[in-house]
């Protein structure tokens, strides 16, 4: 169950993330990465706080957050499965693997399972092109995906 | 005597179960009370043999692979610590033909040393280049790099030394070295391998670039899809600072140079140099119009060298062994070595560093061993999602910047993705357009709109709606994108599309759907 974050809590945690990175040259991306790590996504409430701290407009912050594929505006599932959709994986049957995974998890790309267990995301190249098709589950790489490995992934995200 | 066992921590090896193998080996070492030390090295790049475990014996290294956790106990029974025979034995790894045939200059240490050991790094020739550089005048360093013939390994092939000279000659109160580690091209992983397997060589290359151009600060813009490379680079930077390789006095010299690792956020277009600079500055990754060149007005408007990981990682050997040594490898205007990445449906997929000049056929058929699926090779895409598809008929093309350009292709970052005869080239062409649409930064119209129109047109072609008209339309569209786009994303997407269309026309003429009987 997703807990509603209390306003003051968000404020304090956001400020602390900002303070950690604001001395860097070009601090916005590191701040956004920090917030996503802190909250699991970049809450809309944090954008005006960032804008004020960096002395840029809210539109600029919004523009940056929405430009990059990595930043989410809502929480992901407990597990995040990133499946490579690029050419090297396609050459090894990646499209069929994607269909199998999608069916096994009961969700499409950019979707989160109803029980909140897993979010499925497309990714364009994990640099595992000599062991395709590949994926990344919660930051850990998985190569040469096949039916057995899909079963293992499904078991892991459901456990 | 303590025996050293090497188990790669390279992402590719991890993807194939190296972590479980490492745990199993640790356990066996403990149970059997053996005097053994485990080193987590990089990968040698022989991915069909990963996880490849190596043991240091008095007679040299002995390799085993591909190892899975369930093999470990039997390997110890067979005398792993003394290099004993086992069904997974590979013998001396250096004698494996795939490795024996290579010329490893940039990847000399990758897969051999402990990536985070300065001692190993020095023992295998590391820091010689930087030690030479700190004693030289900046202009002499630049001249040596220029003389070596090194060209940008990111894809554009621009002479590295000339870029450096421009930055050296440009006045600035602050200059930057930016390393482009946004290796987004499918089929490429050499940047990842070097950052995970020999991170100090990149740090050394960047420090040399800093001294050569008067830059005191470096950034590595590393894609977020490579978390393990980021961990390795961050750890290596810390160690390099403590060892005096980075800091106010690089190796005790009056030169200051320090660097930071910055993680991208999943935008492919940020591999384009000006988009990358925008992103580093904390903006949307929109491509900048050139001029001004980044060498004049780059990061935060300051003179900036922006080089690919492999370009920078090739500099230490040039400063160590000399320009002539490096230049003696290669062909034509492509000097030195290039780490070729054999990927996709390849039997022997991995990293093969060699002098320029091998033919595409030698790389795919002889070195790569054809397809993993065992079916005939239909096409290979060279140079990532913006690279052309080559048919067998062009397999005599030598691996050289100019030779590939002459065949309407590009080397790019030297990744080769092999496809067997089940590939549908119309689908591959459509994907190229789709990918461009997903990743377009949106600044210029040919790329932003052209890619979406391209997908629609190819979809119509697939449904056999006025096919000849769609082919003419997509050809015209590609022409517009090629000449009208601001950067290589829109400008090069026509390469895979048009090469697929030109070399595999049969895939673009779908079987007519039988008309329903009246």
Confidence at residue A5, expressed as pLDDT on a 0 to 100 scale: 59
- Rounded to 10 degrees, the C-alpha dihedral B9/B15/B18/B23 comes to 100
Can you give the residue range of the structural domain that contains A43?
A: 7-67
What is the per-residue pLDDT for B512? 56
- ipTM of the prediction: 0.95
Averaged pLDDT for residues B232-238: 98
Distance between CA atoms of residues B415 and B432, nearest Å: 16
Relative to beta strand B3-6, strand B53-57 is antiparallel
- For B408-438, give one letter per residue: b (16+ CB within 10 A) or e: ebbbbbbbbbbbbeebbbbbbbbbbbbbbbe
Q: Has domain B3-99 been given CATH number 1.10.10.60?
A: no
| pLDDT score for B508 | 95
Q: Can you give the pLDDT at residue B252?
A: 97
Residues A87 and A137 in one domain: yes
Residue B108, pLDDT > 60, answer yes
Cβ of residue A144 closer than 8 Å to a chain B Cβ: yes
Task: Choose the weakest-confidence range: A150-159, B155-164, B247-256, B502-511.
Answer: B502-511
Look at residue B243 and tell me whether its pLDDT is greater than 60.
yes
Distance from C-alpha of B81 to C-alpha of B79, rounded to nearest angstrom: 6
Nearest residue in B to A82, CA atom: B225
**Cβ contact, residue pair A32, B192, below 8 Å:** no
Structure tokens at B228: 């393990």
* Same domain (yes/no): A38, A102: no
Chain B contact set for A152 (CB, 8 A): none
Tokens describing residue B477 = 């569209």
What pLDDT is recorded for position A6? 61
**What is the average per-residue pLDDT within B485-506?**
97
The answer, for A41 touching chain B at a CB cutoff of 8 Å, is no
Q: Please say whether the beta carbons of B51 and B111 come within 8 A.
A: no
In whole angstroms, give the CA distance from residue B343 to residue B415: 7
**Closest B-chain CA to A86:** B186
Mean pLDDT, rounded, for B132-138: 98
Give rounded-to-5 percent helix, strand, coil for chain A.
50, 15, 40
- Among the CATH numbers 3.40.20.10, 3.10.20.600, 3.30.300.160, 3.40.50.720, which is that of B330-420? 3.10.20.600
The Cα of B53 is separated from the nearest Cα of chain A by a number of Å equal to 17
Distance from first CA to last CA of chain A, Å, rounded? 16
Whether residue B361 contacts residue B403, with contact meaning beta carbons closer than 8 Å, is answered with no
pLDDT at B518: 43
> Which of B224, B260, B282, B496 to substitute to test the interface with A, most A CBs within 10 Å?
B282
Q: How far is A5 from chain B (nearest CA, A)?
A: 25
**Chain A partners of B192 at a C-beta cutoff of 8 Å?**
127
Instruction: Give a yes or no: residue A120 inside a domain.
Output: yes
Regarding whether A151 and A100 lie in a shared domain, the answer is yes
Residue with the larger pLDDT of the pair A7 and B89: B89
- CB–CB contact B417 A87 (8 Å): yes
- The answer to the question of residue A73 being in a domain is no
What span, in angstroms and rounded, lies between the C-alpha atoms of A44 and A62?
9
> Do the chains contact at B435 and A128, CB–CB below 8 Å?
no
User: How far apart, in whole angstroms, are the C-alpha atoms of residue B270 and residue B190?
Assistant: 18
Give B5-61 pLDDT, tens digit per residue. 999 999 999 999 999 999 999 999 999 999 999 999 999 999 999 999 999 999 999
Residues A97 and A144 in one domain: yes
A63 and A84 together in one domain: no
Helices (H), B257-304: 273-280
From A27, A64, A144, residue closest to B284, measured CB to CB? A64
> Which of A54, A91, A128 shows the shortest C-beta gap to B15?
A128
Mutation choice for A interface testing from B265, B269, B363 by most A CBs within 10 A: B265
In a domain, A72, yes or no: no
Token pair, residue B238, equals 């810390």
Q: What is the pLDDT of residue A159?
A: 84
- Please report the pLDDT score of residue B516 as a whole number: 47
Q: Do A153 and A85 share a domain, yes or no?
A: yes
Say yes or no to pLDDT of A8 above 50: yes
Residue of A nearest to B441 (CA): A67
Question: B425-508 adopts what CATH topology?
Answer: de novo design (two linked rop proteins) (1.20.1440)
pLDDT of residue A2: 46
pLDDT confidence of residue B509: 84
- A and B: number of Cβ contacts within 8 A: 159
Single residue among A17, A35, A67 that ends a domain in this structure: A67
Is B47's CB within 8 Å of A131's CB? yes
**How far apart are the CA of B215 and the nearest CA of chain A, in angstroms?**
15
In total, chain A counts a number of residues equal to 159
Q: Which residues contact B29 (CB under 8 A, 6 or more apart)?
A: B5, B36, B38
Residue-level length of chain B: 518
Q: Please, what is the average pLDDT of chain B?
A: 97
CB contact under 8 A, B225 and A33: no
Q: Nearest chain A Cα to B346, which residue?
A: A130
Q: How deeply is B291 buried, as exposed, middle or buried, from its count of CB atoms within 10 A (0-12, 13-18, 19+)?
A: exposed
Among the candidates A36, A67, A98, a domain finishes at: A67
Strand (E) positions, B320-424? 330-331, 334-335, 337-344, 350-355, 377-382, 389-391, 415-420
- Tokens (6 digits) for A79: 């597990």
Do residues A92 and A148 share a domain? Answer: yes
Q: Inspect the interface and report whether the beta carbons of B280 and A26 lie closer than 8 Å.
A: yes
pLDDT digits (tens, 9 = 90+) for B289-319: 999 999 999 999 999 999 999 999 999 999 9
Q: CB–CB of B15/B8 below 8 Å?
A: no
A59 and A103 co-located in one domain: no
Residue B517: per-residue pLDDT: 44
Domain count, chain A: 2
Contact flag B263-A64 (C-beta cutoff 8 Å): no
User: What is the rounded CA–CA span in Å between residue B486 and residue B276?
Assistant: 14
At B254-282, the pLDDT tens digits run 999 999 999 999 999 999 999 999 999 99
Q: Which residue of A has its CA nearest to B223?
A: A126
Q: Does A53 touch chain B (CB under 8 A)?
A: no
Indicate the residue among A16, A46, A67 that finishes a domain. Answer: A67
CATH number at residue A97: 3.40.30.10
Give binding residues of A for [2Fe-2S] cluster as ranges.
Answer: 84, 89, 125, 129
User: At a CB cut-off of 8 Å and minimum separation 6, what does B132 contact?
Assistant: B319, B320
Based on the fold, state whether residues A50 and A101 are members of the same structural domain: no
Q: What is the gyration radius of the CA atoms in chain B, in angstroms?
A: 24
Q: Which of residues 63-122 of A touch B (CB under 8 A)?
A: 63-64, 67-71, 82, 84, 86-92
Compute the distance between CA of residue B298 and CA of residue B292 in angstroms, rounded to an integer. 8
Instruction: Report how far residue B45's alpha carbon sits from residue B422's, in angstroms, rounded to the nearest whole number.
Output: 27
- Which residue has 């820091």 as its token pair? B127
pLDDT over 90, % of chain B: 97
Q: According to the model, what pLDDT value does residue B413 have?
A: 97
Domain spans in chain B, listed from the N-terminal domain onward: 3-99, 118-327, 330-420, 425-508
pLDDT in tens, B420-464: 999 999 999 999 999 999 999 999 999 999 999 999 999 999 999
- Residues B377 and B98: their CA atoms lie apart, in Å, by 20
Residue B152 pLDDT class (50, 70, 90 cuts): very high
The secondary structure of B30-52 as a DSSP string is: HHTT--EEEE-----SBGGG-S-
A124 part of contact set with chain B, CB < 8 Å = yes
Taking contacts as CB-CB distances below 8 angstroms, the residues of chain B near A127 are 11-12, 183, 188-189, 191-192, 225-226
Q: What is the CATH class of B118-327? A: alpha beta
Question: Does A74 fall in a domain?
Answer: no
Residue A40 lies in a domain: yes
d(CA A159, CA A3): 21
Report how far residue B422's alpha carbon sits from residue A125's, in angstroms, rounded to the nearest whole number: 21
Chain B residue whose CA is closest to A84: B186
């Amino acid at each position: 169950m997703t807990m509603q974050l209390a306003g003051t809590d968000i404020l304090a945690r956001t400020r602390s993330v900002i303070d950690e990175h604001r001395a860097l040259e070009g601090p916005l991306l590191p701040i956004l990465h920090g917030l996503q790590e802190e909250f699991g996504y970049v809450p809309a409430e944090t954008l005006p706080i960032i804008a004020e701290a960096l002395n840029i407009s809210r539109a600029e912050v919004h523009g940056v957050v929405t430009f990059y594929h990595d930043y989410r505006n809502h929480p992901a599932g407990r597990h995040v499965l990133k499946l490579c959709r690029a050419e090297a994986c396609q050459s090894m049957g990646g499209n069929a693997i994607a269909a199998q995974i999608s069916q096994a998890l009961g969700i499409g790309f950019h979707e989160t399972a109803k029980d909140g267990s897993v979010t499925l995301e497309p990714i364009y190249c994990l640099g595992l092109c000599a062991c395709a098709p590949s994926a990344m589950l919660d930051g850990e790489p998985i190569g040469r995906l096949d039916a057995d490995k899909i079963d293992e992934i499904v078991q892991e995200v459901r456990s | 005597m303590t025996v050293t066992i090497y188990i790669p921590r390279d992402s590719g090896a991890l993807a194939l179960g190296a972590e479980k193998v490492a745990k199993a080996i640790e356990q066996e070492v403990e149970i059997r009370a053996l005097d053994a030390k485990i080193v987590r090295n990089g990968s040698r790049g022989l991915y069909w043999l990963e996880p490849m475990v190596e043991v240091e014996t008095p007679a040299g290294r002995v390799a085993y692979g591909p190892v899975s956790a369930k093999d470990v106990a039997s390997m110890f029974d067979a005398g792993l610590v003394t290099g004993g025979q086992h069904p997974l034995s590979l013998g001396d790894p250096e004698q494996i033909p795939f490795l024996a045939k290579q010329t490893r200059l940039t990847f000399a240490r990758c897969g051999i040393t402990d990536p985070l050991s300065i001692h190993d790094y020095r023992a295998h020739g590391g820091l010689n280049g930087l030690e030479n550089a700190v004693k030289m005048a900046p202009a002499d360093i630049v001249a040596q790099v220029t003389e070596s013939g090194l060209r940008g390994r990111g894809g554009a092939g621009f002479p590295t030394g000339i870029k450096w000279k421009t930055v050296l000659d440009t006045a600035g109160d602050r200059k930057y070295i930016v390393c482009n580690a946004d290796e987004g091209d499918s089929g490429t992983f050499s940047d990842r391998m070097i950052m995970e397997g020999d991170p100090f060589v990149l740090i050394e290359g960047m420090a040399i670039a800093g001294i050569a151009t008067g830059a005191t600060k470096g950034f590595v813009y590393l894609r977020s899809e490579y978390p393990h490379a980021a961990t390795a680079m961050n750890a290596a930077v810390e160690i390099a600072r403590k060892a005096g390789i980075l800091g106010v006095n690089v190796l005790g010299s009056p030169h200051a140079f320090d660097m930071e690792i910055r993680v991208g956020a999943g935008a492919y277009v940020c591999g384009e140099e000006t988009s990358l600079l925008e992103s580093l500055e904390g903006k949307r990754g929109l491509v900048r119009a050139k001029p001004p060149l980044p060498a004049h007005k780059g990061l935060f408007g300051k003179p900036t060298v922006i080089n690919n990981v492999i370009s920078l990682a090739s500099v230490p050997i040039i400063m160590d062994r000399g320009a002539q040594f490096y230049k003696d490898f290669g062909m034509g205007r492509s000097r030195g070595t290039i780490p070729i990445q054999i990927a996709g449906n390849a039997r022997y997929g991995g990293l093969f560093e060699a002098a320029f000049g091998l033919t595409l056929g030698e790389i795919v058929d002889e070195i790569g061993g054809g397809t993993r699926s065992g079916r005939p090779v239909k096409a290979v895409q060279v140079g990532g999602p913006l690279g052309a598809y080559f048919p067998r008929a062009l397999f005599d093309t030598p691996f050289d910047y100019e030779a590939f350009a002459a065949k309407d292709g590009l080397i790019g970052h030297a990744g080769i993705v092999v496809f067997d005869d089940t590939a549908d080239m119309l689908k591959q062409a459509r994907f190229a357009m789709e990918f461009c649409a997903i990743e377009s930064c949106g600044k210029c119209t040919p790329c932003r709109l052209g890619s979406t129109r391209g997908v629609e047109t190819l979809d119509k072609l697939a449904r056999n709606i006025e096919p000849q008209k769609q082919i003419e339309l997509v050809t015209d569209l590609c022409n517009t994108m090629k000449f009208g786009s601001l950067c290589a994303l829109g400008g090069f997407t026509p390469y895979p599309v048009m090469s697929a269309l030109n070399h595999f026309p049969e895939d673009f003429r779908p079987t007519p759907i039988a008309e329903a009987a009246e």
